[in-house]
């Protein structure tokens, strides 16, 4: 390859091209202006999205990465630009989302001098990134970018920060690029262990009441088909974590529903009854396990994971199957004897029936009273033929959406799971729409959460992002209100909210919208929202005192799940 002399900033552009980046989210500023100048020359090489806040940029990149499977790219300035992406980094770290975030930094000679807009970005980001590195010389740019993409993407994905000093951006360098294919201190894919694979298969073959817990690892490893083959061969019912949703389609016969605090009755209760518990690409978060001391004590635990440090972190395993689910699942499946667990699988039905009668029907098909969140979610899911990408914010809206939206395609659920970041949804939906342009994106949010990143309506306007925004407005920080009702004697401290006229705000941004307060208007409004491929904001006034059930109160065990009154 012919070598070219160029500025560091241009070397960064060329490096991003080498990594096949086509979309960049960001926000400019003084210490990154040289990079943005180079971006101007390369504007035909990238789709560049200027969000309205750096938090918006990083959440958009997360949404983009999660629907597409590609690494999300963010470029922001130093100091406040960098600190504004902190929430997104922590979120992406917990939810294993591949990101490369490039922050501007003051010139190397000024480092440590408290210069204008200098923040110790490496110090601040080290605990919440997979890797963070300060680039002080232009010659390091190709090496660091190549390494950053390799680290962000390979193994268990995660966010990477490159802190790029101002002088490195303008220094001249002879550009040459070499993709990173190996780091001697990092083993992204643990070697398959045939013994453990055989042991796991044997344990499953002997199981009378096996049950699988499906996590995001299946999606990250593109192992959806392998999972189905595995479950089908040994006839294993499966529950899904919040982030594992859509790995199995909602109508797959062995799929038994959502796990965790607001999950379905069956999969939660049955974790306390199964004899072999098979966790696949999930990390036994406390929102899934409830009280660990009482969690699945009767069961042998098989844990499939790519990340060695997850093994025995929360739940003691009998057998660990390390590796990418795409390889480990078929390896185990091959050793499985075809089995039938008819009675065991049928035993889920009693739970399903009870939940249907006591929780689901009243939530999605109420006959009188205010509109419920569940009926809105259910109707939008039906109206989109269960084919849309669901993006949620955080709170009751998130849990209800996760419970009642149905999925027929993989990578269709984008939500902030580990960090539970309010304000995640709106920008994430922008990223999701850009990452899967051929698909429809439905974003459910609360009156609280939408206002945390509301300014991103400007981004939607500028780039004509066709997201369907559905605000489930209960005029409350509903999830906190629910806890106050249940555990704090109905002392509604700091949870009621006076809200603006949301469709009017949308109108100011040139986004069509409507507010619905009556049940009989809901279907028409949804139809209107979905009639074209443009952004739309639908505000639905819902039950103020709505509750999300079932619920495993924090600290109790999964079989102490409550159904409400």
Of these partners, Mg ion, ligand TPP, other proteins, none, which one is at the site of residue 483 (CB under 5 to 8 Å by kind)?
A: none
Burial class (CB in 10 A: 0-12, 13-18, 19+), 466: middle
- CA-angle at 554, arms to 548 and 558, nearest 5°: 85
Of the two residues 307 and 352, which places its CB atom closer to other proteins in the complex? 307
Residue 447 beta carbon to Mg ion: minimum distance, rounded to whole angstroms: 4
Part of the chain binding ligand TPP (CB under 6 A), chosen from 50-58, 76-84, 377-385, 443-451:
443-451
| Residues touching ligand TPP, count (CB under 6 A) | 20
Among 263, 323, 478, 550, binds Mg ion (CB under 5 A): 478
List residues binding other proteins (CB under 8 A). 122-123, 126-127, 130-134, 151, 181-187, 307-309, 311-313
Residue 399 beta carbon to ligand TPP: minimum distance, rounded to whole angstroms: 8
How many CA atoms, within 13 angstroms, populate the side-chain half-sphere of residue 115?
A: 16
Of these partners, ligand TPP, Mg ion, other proteins, none, which one is at the site of residue 113 (CB under 5 to 8 Å by kind)?
A: none
The string over 192-229, giving b where at least 16 C-beta atoms fall within 10 Å of a residue's C-beta and e elsewhere, is ebeebbebbbebbeebebbbbbbbbbbbbbebbebbbb
Q: 255: which DSSP letter?
A: E
The verdict on 479 binding ligand TPP (CB under 6 A) reads yes
Of the two residues 182 and 489, which places its CB atom closer to other proteins in the complex? 182
Q: Which of 104, 89, 108 is nearest to 31 (CA)?
A: 104
Q: Give the integer Cα–Cα distance in Å for 42 and 37.
A: 9
- The single residue of 166, 256, 269, 514 carrying the catalytic annotation is 166
Under a CB-based contact definition with an 8 Å cutoff, are residues 539 and 513 in contact? yes
The verdict on 62 binding ligand TPP (CB under 6 A) reads no
The verdict on 394 binding ligand TPP (CB under 6 A) reads yes
Of the two residues 199 and 392, which places its CB atom closer to ligand TPP in the complex? 392
Does the annotation mark 7 as catalytic?
no
Residue 512 beta carbon to ligand TPP: minimum distance, rounded to whole angstroms: 22
Q: Give the integer Cα–Cα distance in Å for 482 and 456.
A: 28
Q: Give the integer Cα–Cα distance in Å for 362 and 212.
A: 29
Under a CB-based contact definition with an 8 Å cutoff, are residues 204 and 302 in contact? yes
The verdict on 447 binding Mg ion (CB under 5 A) reads yes
Part of the chain binding ligand TPP (CB under 6 A), chosen from 91-99, 294-302, 350-358, 421-429:
421-429
- CA-angle at 191, arms to 186 and 195, nearest 5°: 150
* Binding track, positions 457-476, relative to Mg ion; x by CB under 5 A: -----------------x-x
Other C-beta atoms within 10 Å of 447: how many? Answer: 25
Crossing angle of the two packed helices 425-435 and 54-68, in degrees rounded to 10: 40
Does the annotation mark 166 as catalytic?
yes
Q: Measured in whole angstroms, how far is the alpha carbon of residue 225 from the centre of its chain?
A: 21
Does the annotation mark 515 as catalytic?
no
Among 476, 502, 509, 549, binds ligand TPP (CB under 6 A): 476
Among 395, 417, 425, 513, binds ligand TPP (CB under 6 A): 395
The verdict on 84 binding ligand TPP (CB under 6 A) reads no
Of the two residues 29 and 88, which places its CB atom closer to ligand TPP in the complex? 88
Q: Give the integer Cα–Cα distance in Å for 39 and 33.
A: 10
Q: Give the integer Cα–Cα distance in Å for 258 and 244.
A: 9
- The single residue of 4, 47, 116, 527 carrying the catalytic annotation is 116
Does the annotation mark 354 as catalytic?
no
Does the annotation mark 211 as catalytic?
no
Backbone angles phi, psi at 437, to 5 degrees: -60, -20
Of these partners, ligand TPP, other proteins, Mg ion, none, which one is at the site of residue 383 (CB under 5 to 8 Å by kind)?
A: none
Q: 21 vs 74, 90, 143, CA distance in Å?
A: 11, 23, 16
Residue 122 beta carbon to other proteins: minimum distance, rounded to whole angstroms: 6
Residue 269 beta carbon to ligand TPP: minimum distance, rounded to whole angstroms: 25
Residue 445 beta carbon to Mg ion: minimum distance, rounded to whole angstroms: 9
- The single residue of 18, 117, 294, 327 carrying the catalytic annotation is 117
Part of the chain binding Mg ion (CB under 5 A), chosen from 39-47, 140-148, 441-449, 534-542:
441-449
Q: 421 vs 88, 217, 427, CA distance in Å?
A: 8, 21, 12
Interface with ligand TPP (CB under 6 A): 393-397, 420-423, 446-449, 472, 474, 476-480
Annotated catalytic sites, by residue? Answer: 54, 116-117, 166, 479
Interface with Mg ion (CB under 5 A): 446-447, 474, 476, 478
């Amino acid at each position: 390859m012919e070598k070219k002399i160029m500025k560091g900033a241009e070397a960064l552009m060329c490096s991003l091209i080498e990594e096949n980046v086509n979309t960049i989210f960001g926000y400019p500023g003084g210490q990154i202006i040289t990079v943005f100048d180079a971006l101007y020359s390369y504007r035909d090489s990238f789709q560049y999205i200027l969000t309205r806040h750096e938090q918006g940029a990083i959440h958009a990149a997360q949404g983009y990465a999660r629907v597409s499977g590609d690494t999300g790219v963010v470029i922001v300035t130093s100091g406040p630009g960098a600190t504004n992406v902190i929430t997104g980094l922590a979120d992406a770290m917990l939810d294993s989302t591949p990101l490369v975030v490039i922050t501007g930094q003051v010139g190397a000679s000024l480092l440590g001098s408290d210069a204008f807009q200098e923040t110790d970005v490496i110090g601040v980001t080290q605990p919440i990134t997979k890797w963070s590195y300060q680039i002080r010389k232009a010659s390091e740019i190709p090496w660091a970018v190549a390494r950053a993409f390799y680290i962000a993407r390979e193994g268990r994905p995660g966010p990477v920060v490159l802190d790029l000093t101002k002088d490195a951006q303008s220094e001249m360098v002879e550009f040459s690029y070499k993709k990173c294919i190996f780091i001697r201190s990092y083993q992204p894919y643990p070697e398959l262990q045939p013994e453990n694979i055989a042991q796991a298969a044997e344990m499953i073959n002997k199981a009378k009441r096996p049950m699988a817990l499906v996590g995001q690892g299946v999606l990250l490893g593109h192992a959806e088909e392998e999972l189905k083959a595995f479950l089908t061969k040994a006839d294993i019912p499966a529950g899904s974590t919040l982030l594992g949703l859509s790995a199995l389609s909602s109508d797959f016969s062995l799929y038994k529903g959502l796990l965790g605090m607001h999950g379905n009755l069956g999969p939660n209760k049955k974790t306390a009854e199964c004899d072999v518990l098979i966790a696949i690409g999930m990390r036994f978060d406390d929102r899934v396990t409830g009280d660990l001391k009482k969690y699945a004590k009767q069961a042998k635990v098989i844990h499939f994971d790519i990340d060695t440090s997850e093994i025995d972190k929360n739940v003691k395993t009998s057998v660990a199957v390390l590796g990418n689910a795409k390889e480990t699942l078929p390896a185990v499946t091959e050793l499985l004897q075809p089995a039938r667990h008819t009675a065991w699988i049928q035993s889920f039905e009693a739970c399903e029936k009870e939940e249907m009668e006591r929780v689901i029907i009243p939530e999605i098909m109420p006959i009188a009273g205010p509109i419920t969140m569940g009926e809105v979610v259910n109707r939008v899911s039906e109206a989109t033929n269960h084919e849309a990408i669901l993006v949620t914010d955080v709170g009751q809206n998130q849990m209800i959406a996760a419970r009642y939206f149905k999925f027929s395609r993989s990578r269709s659920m984008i939500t902030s799971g580990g960090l539970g970041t309010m304000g995640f949804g709106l920008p994430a939906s922008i990223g999701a729409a850009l990452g899967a342009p051929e698909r429809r994106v439905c974003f459910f949010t609360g009156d609280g959460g939408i206002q945390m990143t509301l300014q991103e309506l400007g981004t939607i306007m500028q780039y004509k992002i066709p997201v369907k925004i559905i605000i489930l407005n209960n005029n409350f920080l509903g999830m906190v209100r629910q806890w106050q009702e249940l555990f704090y004697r109905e002392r509604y401290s700091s949870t009621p909210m006076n809200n603006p006229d949301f469709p009017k705000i949308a109108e100011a941004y040139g986004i069509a919208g409507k507010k619905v307060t009556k049940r009989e208007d809901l279907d028409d409004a949804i139809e209107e929202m979905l009639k074209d491929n443009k952004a739309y904001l639908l505000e639905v006034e819902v039950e103020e005192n709505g509750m999300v059930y079932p619920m495993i109160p924090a600290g109790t065990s999964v079989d102490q799940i409550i159904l409400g009154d």
